[in-house]
Amino acid sequence: MSYQPRRHARHTMLRIRGLEHRVTRWGPESSAPVLLLHGWGDCADSFQFVADEIAPDWPLAAIDWRGFGHSDRDPGGYWFPDYYADLDEMLDRLCPAGPARLVGHSMGGNIATVYAGIRPERVQRIVNLEGFGLPRSEPSQAPARLARWLDQLREQPEWGDYATAGALAERLMRRNPRLSADRAAFIAERWTRPLPAGGVRLRADPAHRLVSPYLYRREEMEACWRRVVAPVLLVVGGLSELAARFGTEGIAEAFRAIIPGLRVEVLAGAGHMLHHEEPAAVARLIEDFLGGT
């Protein structure tokens, strides 16, 4: 059985930089909602579990990034700086009342934290859920990276289809044994669309699978992090498989040395998808750190 939401979600479309983006809202209308930013491969709908645990008088807004969920795909491909520009316009449109309160998971947390260093005056507070950036790269990796990108352009990547959304839900639970069956079913239904001949396909644009031809220059991201003036809460899953990949650069002390005034909380029983696994605990941290409506 699929998860039954307790808070009603409202959906609208908003044109951002030439592409239609779907906005999901919970709670009262507001010119200063808490803005929820999903991670790679995810969509705004899966913040439903956290929304159900937050006080109903909190205004929440979540958006499907370009090429994910119900938002338009970009025929020109996906380049990370576009997300900063998208967020810049989103804040103008969704949070015009003043500096925004941001909650971002993984890619969404990375975008929020870097953006807060680019435009420090636009961000009031950030809850970063497992947004660690990416591992440091070296210039010597460039030739192989560019060759791989060229090869992938010839292959035209696609997602694997599934016989049913239930089949995807089963796969999600195999990959993450902490994910309950009802939440897995809910996520699988939101991540897929039906195919005319039967079966389902992931909604996300498969072009997101292309490796970037540009190396990730962590030094540049850290330069942005150092300019953040908004208070930042970094929430880490104690069982996170992602944090372990970073070695010493994934530990709290490394981020405290870069991001001024950083607060760190660890959810001992959660992994990387902590907003799916422990939404009540995540909601309490959000409420405590962002400080009410």
> Is pLDDT at 186 greater than 50 in this prediction?
yes
Q: Single out the residue of 238, 217, 228 nearest to residue 281, CA to CA.
A: 238
Mean pLDDT of the chain: 94
Whether 89 maps to a domain, the answer reads: yes
For the segment 142-158, what is each residue's pLDDT rounded down to a tens digit? 999 999 999 999 988 88
Q: How far apart are CA 97 and CA 61, in angstroms?
A: 14
For the segment 1-50, what is each residue's pLDDT rounded down to a tens digit? 889 999 999 999 999 999 999 999 999 999 999 999 999 999 999 999 99
Cβ atoms of 289 and 125 closer than 8 Å: yes
Q: What is the residue range of 79's domain?
A: 1-136+217-293
> Is pLDDT at 248 greater than 90 in this prediction?
no
**CB atoms closer than 10 angstroms to residue 289:** 18
> Is pLDDT at 103 greater than 90 in this prediction?
yes
Under the banding of pLDDT at 50, 70 and 90, the label for residue 106 is very high
Assign 242 to helix, strand or coil: helix
Whether 205 maps to a domain, the answer reads: no
Whether 4 maps to a domain, the answer reads: yes
> What CATH number should be reported for the domain holding residue 63?
3.40.50.1820
Whether 24 maps to a domain, the answer reads: yes
Whether 75 maps to a domain, the answer reads: yes
For the segment 232-242, what is each residue's pLDDT rounded down to a tens digit? 999 999 999 88
Q: Single out the residue of 182, 180, 190, 188 nearest to residue 163, CA to CA.
A: 188
CA-based end-to-end distance of the chain: 33
Percent of the chain topping pLDDT 70: 99
pLDDT of residue 293: 46
Phi-psi region of 98 (alpha: psi -120 to 50; beta: other; left: phi over 0): left
Number of domains in the chain: 1
Whether 265 maps to a domain, the answer reads: yes
Under the banding of pLDDT at 50, 70 and 90, the label for residue 252 is confident
Cβ atoms of 62 and 38 closer than 8 Å: yes
Whether 168 maps to a domain, the answer reads: no
| Average pLDDT estimate for 121-135 | 95
pLDDT of residue 260: 87
For the segment 84-94, what is each residue's pLDDT rounded down to a tens digit? 999 999 999 99
pLDDT of residue 254: 85
> Is pLDDT at 129 greater than 70 in this prediction?
yes
Whether 52 maps to a domain, the answer reads: yes
| Average pLDDT estimate for 127-133 | 95
Report phi then psi at 190, rounded to 5.
-80, -25
